[in-house]
Structure 1
């Protein structure tokens, strides 16, 4: 005879088990919801990041491009329809092309300022015509002291000199295939602004430093030079000091650089900076004082320029290397010392015929430049 003993059912244990399962289900559901929220946030961040990469063409970020920009980009640049831009710009191909809308021109100007080192620190003026002229005083206005009732004798009139920066037409000729233009997702305006700005910046950088002044700006290194001080030096000539060695720096490079700084008036030293190429900067970064400290100081905050003797260092690759007879280092307040005069509007002419199947975009702009105040720029020359 089998004897069966029934074990009493423990309801408390079952309830506990059900509670654990329920809590686990709730936790899994919460994790799923959390993951979904995280994925949504990541997708939004990616979308914002992609939008930030493309420059905003509208009048404000997030707005649609203006009708002028749409007509210029979709009508003229993509399809070559000139009727849409003739009424807006009032220009024609015979004038050298069509003036780009101000939004695209602002994109080009913004990238130019970021890429071109001298443009970042020089004085830039916009002109409506091809030329620019400015009168500057060379001796200042005379003055004197008199008593309260004493007569006022006539003072000498100031002397003036005319500044007329040599100008030239800067051009770039980027090309795109027809399939690129037919692709609606292709950011034509952003690509064109970047290509034009990159080529303009390369040509500008060379001209603002070494330009001859013939159909191009006159660079500050192409100006007359003299060892004479500001009081006796001819107007327009730039002062320099020697490095003390025919092939490089002498045994006291710190002293030479300090002398170069203090050849400049105190007022111009506020806002002054060093200009040199990367090869010269590599040499200067190794220079030490007599007690072993480096002259060069890295920027303490990200985005801030490195410093030499307390002044920021700007790298301009068109500056010469350290060699006998060259001027590898410039120190100056370029806002006061060098002027860039440019006609604000960039002209673009669409050319689908010269190099089929590519479409060229011939962009031009008139730019000039020269030394404005020679007392605001000083040079170091490699010589004994």
Structure 2
């Protein structure tokens, strides 16, 4: 029987090739889809992780949302509803009022910085307790030079002093009529922050300058003073320079001011400023050098402070006037030299009963202050 050779059908071959192409394409598409699914699953897992982290409460986080602030303002401040604020801070009126939400406390802090001149230039620390203590090194940490392989001699034992700023409860008691509170257009939040800041700033200004230290901060003018230079005076004693005249500035006040500036070490002069009241500033602005140039120079750019002998001038109305035995001018780096310690929450107690028909908002905050580094502040005293 003869061998019969059959020739493949061209159409069958074409169909087979087409089928192979379709299968290959399907495999490729499925591989791409699988890769995309894997990428989507990975992105989804990352988003879920971020979402869980965002919803997890942060330890010590006291921030309040806009809804909570609105509940505090409209619920407690306007209508006296305590349920709106218990969920925020858990405090009760018997504790002395409710801690205001952080957003309102931040508004009060911003206003205080603008109103209170000494606060604006001093070191401010927030505390969680009524007392605050800080250890300050007063020397003893010796240093030296040795060769690479030489023994290192023992350094001197460092000396420390403890700073515990005297503190007291600062309070304000602004009042509003019920009609004001019932007015939905009345910005109660800003009004309360401004009123509290104004009263706090007025009381702070006097305490940080000349406070007695008894149930209030100790002012830097109430610290011990001496003429001895740095390194000789006792810790906490502020150096002063005499004016040269028992009743005012002498015939060469520019020289005394230069002496005052350079009695401060160079490390503290970076960031130092003059502090005086407006009456003293009026007298200082009239001072001229021997060639007729004014010692005082106005700020050349908006927002820049006025300067005296190249240093900014801060007006603090609680500084004393020029008078015999007074300290009308201070010069120093107050961020190094004066410490303000305050409890980190302002408390507000709504009082609609004491002075009807007005509603009072009794606000309290614990604030302390004391000279931190007596080498960083120098005083000019009116004396011969």
State the TM-score bracket (shorter-chain normalisation). 0.7 to 0.9
* Mapped pair 1:334 → 2:367: no
Shift of 1:67: 1.4
1:151, CA displacement in angstroms? 2.1
Q: CA deviation at 1:148?
A: 2.7
1:118 aligns with 2:108: no
CA distance in 1, matches of 2:304, 2:140: 37
1:262-291: CA deviation from partner (whole Å, max 9, x where unpaired) = 000001000000000000000000001111
Contact 2:248 2:322 in 1 (8 A): yes
Alpha-carbon distance between aligned partners in 1 of 2:194 and 2:148, rounded to the nearest angstrom: 64
Q: Report the CA distance between 1:140 and its aligned residue.
A: 4.3
Which residue pairs with 1:130 in the alignment?
130
Aligned to 2:44: none
CA distance in 2, matches of 1:235, 1:339: 15
- Relative to the length of structure 2, the TM-score reads 0.82
> Displacement of 1:143 after TM fit?
1.5
In structure 1, runs of 5+ residues without a counterpart are 1-64
Query: How far apart in 1 are the matches of 2:182 and 2:155?
Result: 71
- TM-score scaled by length of structure 1: 0.82
Q: Match of 2:284?
A: 284
Q: Secondary structure at the match of 2:139?
A: coil
Q: CA deviation at 1:182?
A: 0.7
- Structure 2 distance, partners of 1:344, 1:134, is 17
Residue 298 of structure 1: aligned partner: 298
Asked whether 1:379 is paired with 2:379, we answer yes
Post-superposition CA distance 1:333-363 (Å, at most 9, x none): 0010001111111000000111111100000
Question: Where does residue 12 of structure 2 map in the other structure?
Answer: none
Tell me the residue number matched to 2:97: 97
| 1:1-384 alignment runs, 5 A limit | 66-384=66-384
Displacement after TM superposition at 1:186 (Å): 0.8
Deviation of the 1:92 alpha carbon: 0.6
Matched position secondary structure for 2:380: strand
Q: Secondary structure at the match of 2:341?
A: strand
Distance in 1 between residues matched to 2:150 and 2:310, nearest whole Å:
49
How far apart in 2 are the matches of 1:177 and 1:148? Answer: 77
Corresponding residue for residue 62 of structure 1: none
d(CA) in 1 for partners of 2:117, 2:296: 19
Query: Structure 2: any 5+ residue segments left out of the alignment?
Result: 1-64
CA distance in 2, matches of 1:150, 1:170: 58
Distance between the aligned counterparts of 1:197 and 1:148, measured in 2? 58
4+ residue runs over 6 A deviation: none
1:149 deviates by: 2.6
Displacement after TM superposition at 1:146 (Å): 2.3
Aligned residues: 321
